[in-house]
Amino acid sequence: MALEIERKYLVLDDSYKREAFSSYHIMQGYICRTSGKTVRVRIRDKQGFITIKGPSLDGGLSRYEFEQEIPLADAEQLMNLCESGVIDKTRWLVKSDKHVFEVDEFHGDNEGLVVAEVELSYGMESFKKPHFIGKEVTGDRRYYNAQLCQYPFGGWTEKKV
């Protein structure tokens, strides 16, 4: 099992689209989400994945993650077993120095939310933030995809960007 270490930020503008070297569509649902542990099914373009994540050990900076590619047909069937709420987003990949920022532009019930993540090798690793990066929201549970399924951004009364 791998340890996922990432920082998460709100995005200030859509300039990331011009700077992206790749993008793809993601649909995902959650079979289980409890006590910070999740079992997620994801369809990325025409590929299926199942992911198991453990609870965060340090305020949202890191958590254990196991991900396995599965046949697309299996992922489509497993989506039927998911709890209510689906994440629909486009992921844009933007290189910044030695790192790649994954910028998620949400659709559907989370329309208007754009969040960027950067994966790190260790918690205190330095990195160059692109100009479109705004407020850090690492550890803010409202911005976790599993939370956005239950409490979509479109229904928030106070939207901080």
**Number of C-beta neighbours around residue 49 at 10 A:** 17
Active site residue 9: no
Per the residue annotation, which of 9, 30, 143, 144 is the catalytic one?
A: 30
Interatomic CA distance for residues 133 and 20, integer angstroms: 14
CA distance from start to end of the chain: 34
- Active site residue ranges: 30
